[in-house]
Structure 1
Amino acid sequence: MRHVSVMALTGTIGIVAVFAVDLLNFFYLSRLGDKAVAAAVGFAGAIGFFQISIGIGLTIGIGAAVSTAIGRADGIEGSAAPRIAATSLIAMAVITLALGLVTAVFRNPLLDLLHATGETKSLAALYLLITCPALPFMIIGMGGGALLRSAGAARRAMNVTLYGAVAVAAMDPVFIFVLHLGLEGAAISTVLSRAFMTLLGLYYIRRQGLLGRPDTALARADLTQVGRVAGPAILTNLATPVGSAYVTHTMAHFGVAAVAGQAAIDRMMPVAFGVIFALTGAVGPIMAQNLGAGRTDRVRETLRSSLIFMAIAVVIAWAVLAAAQNGLAIAFSSKGVAADLLHLYCSWLAGSAIFLGALFVGNAAFNNLGRPGYATVLNWGRATLGTIPFVHVGAQYGPLGVAVGQAGGYVLFGIAAVILAFRVINRLDREHPVKLPEPIIAVPGGRNAVSNFETDGT
Structure 2
Amino acid sequence: MATAETHSSDHAQPSQLLHAAIVPTLTKMTVPMIFGMIFLMMFNLVDTFFISMLGTQPLAAISFTFPVTFTVISLAIGLGIGTSAVIAKALGAGEQAQARFDGTVALIVSAILVLSLSVAGYLFSEPLFKLLGAQAQLLPIIDQYMHIWFLASVLLVTPMIGNAILRANGDTKTPSLIMGGSGLINAILDPVLIFGWGPIPALGVQGAAIASAISWVVGVILVLHILIVRRKLLSNQCRSQSFYGATRKILKIGFPAAGANMLTPLAMAVMTAIVATFGAPAVAAFGVGSRIESIASLVVLALSMTLPPFISQNFGAGKIERVREAYQKTLKFVLIWQLLIYLLLLAVGHWIALAFASESQVRELISLFIYILPLSYGLQGVIILTNSSFNALHRPMNALVLSVIRLFVFYVPIAYVGSLIADLTGLFIGAAMGNLFTAVVAYLWFTHELKRHSQQ
| TM-score, length of structure 2 as denominator length | 0.78
1:320-335 map, 5 Å: none
Would you say 1:286 and 2:310 are equivalent positions? yes
Aligned partner of residue 413 in structure 1, secondary structure: helix
Deviation at 1:232, TM superposition (A): 2.5
Corresponding position: 1:72 with 2:90: no
Residues 51-85 of structure 1 show CA distances to partners (whole Å, capped at 9, x for unaligned) of 222211101111111111111117x4xx3111110
Mapping 1:123-162, distance limit 5 Å: 127-162=145-180
1:275 alignment partner, one of 277, 299, 304: 299
Q: 1:48 to 1:254 in 2, by over 3 A?
A: farther
How large is the Cα RMSD of the aligned pairs? 3.8
User: In the alignment, is the contact (CA less than 8 A) between 1:27 and 1:332 conserved in 2?
Assistant: no
What residue in structure 2 maps to residue 421 of structure 1? 446
Which of 357, 362, 384 is the matching residue for 2:386? 362
Question: Aligned AA for 1:152?
Answer: G
Aligned equivalent of 2:69 = 48
From 180, 186, 191, the equivalent of 1:173 is 191
What is the match of residue 195 of structure 1? Answer: 217
Question: How far off its partner does 1:314 sit?
Answer: 3.0
Query: Contact 2:101–2:238 at 8 Å: present in 1 too?
Result: yes
When structure 1 is superposed on structure 2, of 394-403 and 223-232 the one drifting more is 394-403
Deviations 1:316-374 (A, max 9, x none): 44455556667767877876887666555555433433232211111122112232221
Kindly provide the amino acid, as one letter, of the partner of residue 390 in structure 2: F
SS at 1:213's partner residue?
A: coil
Moved more, 169-178 or 364-373: 169-178
- Where do 1:237-252 residues align within 5 Å? 237-247=261-271
Counterpart CA distance in 1 for 2:347 and 2:353 is 12
Q: Distance in 2 between matches of 1:324 and 1:124?
A: 38
Cα distance, 1:419 vs structure 2: 1.7
Percent identity over paired residues? 28
Instruction: Tell whether the 8 Å contact from 1:247 to 1:406 is kept in structure 2 after alignment.
Output: no
Match of 2:84 among 56, 63, 66: 63
Q: How far apart, in 2, do the equivalents of 1:232 and 1:413 lie?
A: 19
Structure 1, 191-200 or 312-321: larger mean CA deviation: 312-321
CA distance in 2: counterparts of 1:116 and 1:251, whole angstroms: 23
- Which amino acid is the alignment partner of residue 110 of structure 2? M
> How many residues matched?
427
Q: Counterpart of 2:8?
A: none
Corresponding residue number in structure 2 for 1:186? 208
Q: Paired residue for 1:209?
A: 232
Aligned to 1:222: 246
1:263/1:103 CA distance change after superposition, 3 Å: farther
Unaligned runs of 5+ in 1: 432-458
Alpha-carbon separation, structure 1, partners of 2:309 and 2:360: 45
Shift, 1:93, TM fit = 0.7
Using a 3 Å threshold, how does the CA distance of structure 1 residues 423 and 283 change in structure 2: closer, same or farther? same
Counterpart of 1:167 in structure 2: which amino acid? I
Could you list the per-position Cα deviations for residues 156-209 of structure 1 after superposition, in whole angstroms to 9, with x for gaps in the alignment?
Answer: 122121212222232233344556655444333333323322222222222222
How far is 1:307 from its partner?
A: 1.0
Letter in 2 for 1:93: A
Instruction: Give the equivalent residue in structure 2 for 1:95.
Output: 113
Shift of 1:410: 3.1
Q: Secondary structure of the residue that 2:242 maps to in structure 1?
A: helix
| Structure 1 contact 115–249 (Cα < 8 Å) conserved | no
Alpha carbons of structure 1 residues 380 and 325: separation in structure 2 relative to 1, 3 Å: same
Cα distance between partner residues in 1 of 2:431 and 2:143: 26
Label 1:297 to 1:387 Cα distance change in 2 as closer, same or farther (>3 A): closer
Q: Do the aligned partners of residues 23 and 333 (structure 1) sit closer, same or farther apart at CA in structure 2, a change above 3 Å counting?
A: farther
> Normalised by the size of structure 1, how large is the TM-score?
0.78
- The whole-number CA distance in structure 2 between the counterparts of 1:300 and 1:224 is 28
C-alpha change, 1:267 and 1:127, in structure 2 (3 Å) is farther
Q: Give ranges in structure 2 of 5+ residues lacking alignment.
A: 1-22
Q: Is the 8 A contact 1:395 1:401 kept in 2?
A: yes
Q: Which residue of 1 aligns with 2:321?
A: 297
Q: 1:122: how far off? A: 6.9
Is the CA contact (8 Å cut-off) linking 1:33 and 1:333 kept in structure 2?
no
**Matches of 1:200 and 1:43 in 2, distance apart?**
31
